[in-house]
Amino acid sequence: MSKSDPEFLSKMSKESQAAEKQFIGNIASRLGRSAISSAPEHPFRGAPEFWTSYELGREEQIARFMSNWEAAGGFTERTASMSDIPAIIVRILEEMNATSTIRQNLPELEQLGLDEKLPELRHYAWDGLDAEGSLRTAEQADAGIVLADFAVAYTGSMIVTSSTEKGRSVSLLPNILIAIISAERMHTRLGEVMSRVAAVPGEQFPAGVHFISGPSRSSDIENDLTIGVHGPGVAFALIVG
């Protein structure tokens, strides 16, 4: 397959600019006015007021998250400190007969020391600079280990964003997902995470922001729930704190 071709793209870009004027102009004229260029007043932005004051305490948040994650078919564990996590992950990997792992390339995950604790398994860290190699290892790995950027108690969701160190494939391609969630990153409502995401400046904005709420599932065959269709079928949420 050919790489991006600047000549072709610039031709398409010219066509696009020309078409845009007419396309937007048509919308404005159908709306009975000329196109507007300043931001309209948006009095109904976001959730209703009564909702934005809805708050759960930390314990309640964690309990709610865990019950939602389990109801969606996932597994949860909670522990007081990050130092307990390696033993839990070792147990999970042994129980699942995993032979290889891939993790986000983050110091917290490096410090789990899986390479030493389970030397018979192959362990990889995502490397955005080796795209082909990283994709291949993620595809072959049995378990993907991620550190959640945020979590939402009310919907039982954890959020991962993409970067050089944090490939989207890590939480997607392996059959087992192990997500470590720091209790401090737990929020009550989706909206709290939305506003934090939206506040990231354009040049630092991640290409992928993924809300994940359990194992992959489908009900497309006779509405019979099947777990693990394309994404991970086994999803662990390990809450720290």
Partner 1 sequence: MSKPQGSNVKERAKSALKDEFLIDAVKFTTEKLKNGKKAATAEHGNWEEWRERGRQIRLHTIAHLDYYLSQFIENARAQGVHVHFAPEAKDAARIAMEIAKHKGAKSVVKSKSMVSEEVHINEAFEELGIESIESDLGEYIIQLANEPPSHIIIPAIHKNRYQIAELLSKEAGETLPPETKILAGFARRKLRDKFLEADIGLTGCNFGIAETGSVVIFENEGNARMVSTVPKTQITLMGMERLIPSWDDLEVMATLLPRSATGQKLTVYMSGITGPRREQDGDGPEEMHIIIVDNGRSLQLGDPDFQELLNCIRCGACLNACPVYRHIGGHSYPGTYSGPIGAVLTPALNKNTQEWHDIANASSLCGACYEACPVKIPLHDMLVYLRNRKVERGFTATGEKMAMKGFKLLMGNHKRFRQAVKAGQLGQKLLVRDGYIRSQIGPLGGWTANRYIPALPKRSFREQWAGMSSEVDKSMKPMTGEMKSRMEEIVKARGKGGHHG
Which residue, 79 or 213, is less far from partner 1 as judged by CB?
213
Which of 135, 122, 128, 157 shows the shortest CA–CA distance to 237?
157
Which residue, 61 or 169, is less far from partner 1 as judged by CB?
169
Which of 171, 163, 158, 161 shows the shortest CA–CA distance to 197?
161
Which of 224, 124, 130 shows the shortest CA–CA distance to 173?
124
Which of 153, 182, 169, 190 shows the shortest CA–CA distance to 232?
169
Which residue, 140 or 182, is less far from partner 1 as judged by CB?
140
Q: How far is the CB of 76 from partner 1 (least distance, A)?
A: 16
Fill in the amino acid letter for 48.
Answer: P
Q: How far is the CB of 87 from partner 1 (least distance, A)?
A: 28
Give the three-state DSSP class for 2: coil
Q: How far is the CB of 53 from partner 1 (least distance, A)?
A: 13
Nearest-10 Cα torsion for 108, 88, 139, 69: -100
Q: How far is the CB of 40 from partner 1 (least distance, A)?
A: 5
Which residue, 4 or 81, is less far from partner 1 as judged by CB?
4
Which residue, 85 or 169, is less far from partner 1 as judged by CB?
169
Which residue, 72 or 118, is less far from partner 1 as judged by CB?
72
Q: How far is the CB of 238 from partner 1 (least distance, A)?
A: 18
Residues 6+ apart with CB under 8 A from 2: none
Q: What is the total residue count of the chain?
A: 241
Which residue, 159 or 240, is less far from partner 1 as judged by CB?
159
Q: Hey, which bits of 51-203 come out as E strands?
A: 75-79, 100-103, 122-125, 143-147, 150-152, 157-161, 176-182, 186-187
Q: How far is the CB of 98 from partner 1 (least distance, A)?
A: 18
The count of other CB atoms within 10 Å of the CB of residue 23 is: 10
Q: How far is the CB of 191 from partner 1 (least distance, A)?
A: 4
In angstroms, rounded to a whole number, what is the distance separating the alpha carbons of residues 102 and 141?
6
